[in-house]
Amino acid sequence: MQVIFLDNNVRKFLKYTALFLFYIIAFILILAYINSNFTLAAYNTFLSILMICFFILILFTLVSVISIIGLSRKRKTSRFQMPFIKYGLRILMPVTLFFATLMGNDKDSVRSFYIEMNNLISESSDETFRPEDILVLLPHCLQNSDCGHKITNDINNCKQCGKCVISDLLDIVRERNVRAVVVTGGTAARNIVLKEKPKAVLSVACERDLASGIMDVNKLPKEEKMPVIGVLNTRPNGPCFNTNVDVDTLAEKLDHLLGRNKVNGG
């Protein structure tokens, strides 16, 4: 008998499709039960509870949206608004991404906004970290494609020829005594964060990888969570090929985490 081993991605697809069907069937069964067993009074009570729940959801969404817009304009927020921003983003981001996909709109601008808001939330605490508690994650596409040095094994293998931005980044992390790792993709980045358990992460990536990485960290148990600051790479040669990053922005974000007040400083 031939045994069929399902690919991991296929298994995940089937799992989420099954979950989707399960929720739809459960919803229909609940409606059918209510239809056949509820008295008119019980039915009305059920409808009232449902309306109150929707009203609370709408109210929460409105307060969240106002708080998020306030944060994006003033670059700071109050302690009262913080939970509305955090949980609002967590709920609204997948919803906005879903509608952007449905309408065929640009999802990267939604992701970029999410990354910017996440940075503002993380930086607003003004918490500082020791160099050994920070991990800098860099995508391998920053490396010049003609370079033969294996920097994914160890970034220190870079000979600093100056043909790509890795050379400048190496200077920045060496000077601050911070560990930097060059990763081959989102999964490798997640694995190294789970293995190393840094107290703060500064990550360079594209909108998609950064947004999904931040969402993943937000799903971790409270004691395992850490702030993730994102810096977007630029793609002058198209996606995943000889990309670049603003080194001043990266140095500034790193200095903020370290509690240093000089840009590119010493």
Instruction: Give me the residues that bind ligand SF4 (CB under 6 A), please.
Output: 143-144, 147, 149, 151, 158-164, 166-167
- Closer to ligand SF4 at the Cβ: 122 or 143? 143
- How far, in Å, CA of 200 to CA of 195, rounded? 13
- Closer to ligand SF4 at the Cβ: 164 or 178? 164
Report phi then psi at 28, rounded to 5. Answer: -65, -40
Nearest to 83 by CA among 123, 121, 57, 112: 121
- How far, in Å, CA of 198 to CA of 73, rounded? 31
- Closer to ligand SF4 at the Cβ: 83 or 162? 162
Closest approach of ligand SF4 to the CB of residue 22, in Å: 48
Closest approach of ligand SF4 to the CB of residue 63, in Å: 47
What spatial distance separates the first Cα and last Cα of the chain, rounded to whole Å? 67
Rounded to a whole number, what is the largest CA-CA distance in the chain?
79
Distance of CA 104 to the CA centre of its chain: 22
Closest residue by beta carbon to ligand SF4: 147
Q: Can you say whether the dihedral through the CA atoms of 38, 44, 47, 52 is positive or negative?
A: negative
Closest approach of ligand SF4 to the CB of residue 159, in Å: 4
Closest approach of ligand SF4 to the CB of residue 151, in Å: 5
Closest approach of ligand SF4 to the CB of residue 240, in Å: 16
- Closer to ligand SF4 at the Cβ: 93 or 155? 155
- Closer to ligand SF4 at the Cβ: 163 or 260? 163
Please provide the DSSP assignment of 38-63 as one string: --HHHHHHHHHHHHHHHHHHHHHHHH
Question: Contact 111/98 with Cβ under 8 angstroms?
Answer: no
- How far, in Å, CA of 151 to CA of 189, rounded? 15
Closest approach of ligand SF4 to the CB of residue 239, in Å: 19
- Closer to ligand SF4 at the Cβ: 107 or 163? 163
